[in-house]
A and B are shown apart, each in its own frame.
Chain A
């Protein structure tokens, strides 16, 4: 079974600063996908960024980037130039594509607060 661990329940940072959220996972699979989802107070789950395990290059999406360390099974999210709208719960998630086991497994989340 796959597990996803987010060891930081809460974090806060000043607006415009950079913040890194940690995520580790455990799997015996070699081909999988990793995601970061954002859940603002509106409750909507929003896909932030995605990484394919077979790609060594770290994914980036504007101010959001990841540090993917496959050997260490680590997948951290870096938010640069943080904005008030980044205040949300952030969930790390893991997906493998085996028929009958195609499910997204989530970590417990990190509550991020951006301070004005």
Chain B
């Protein structure tokens, strides 16, 4: 089991550019979560999917952020246009719906720097 795989590990981009973060959940997991971690706000849930369907996107900060899960093995988080305040570590996590109360498995995160 390779765990939750996120790419890239680091991303540096210029303000105004489009950024796409990628996540491959653990095979068989049908719940997927995107979190953002900053010093000021800690870990915030942005959006979560169950069976590829977005269930709660109330944490998505604004329309510049969008997330998709076209199939059970892939999800993307896109920021367009990016701004310096989007700089953060973005985590993807997955779990089986039956095992949600047992905790999630997190990826290693993508550190995004917008200059």
The verdict on A33 contacting B43 (CB below 8 Å), with A43-B89, A102-B48, A103-B56 known, is no
Number of interface residues of B (CB under 8 A): 22
Number of interface residues of A (CB under 8 A): 23
Of chain B, the residue at the smallest CB distance from A31 is B101
B60-102 with Cβ < 8 A to chain A: 89, 91, 93, 97, 100-102
Closest beta carbon of chain B to A77's beta carbon, Å: 15
17 pairs of residues in contact across A and B, judged by CB atoms under 8 Å: A37-B103, A42-B108, A44-B109, A45-B91, A50-B103, A91-B42, A91-B43, A95-B100, A95-B101, A102-B31, A102-B97, A103-B33, A103-B45, A104-B33, A104-B45, A104-B104, A105-B45
> By CB atoms of chain B within 10 A, which of A42, A95, A103, A105 has the most?
A103
**B43 CB contact (under 8 Å) in A97, A101, A102, A106:** A106
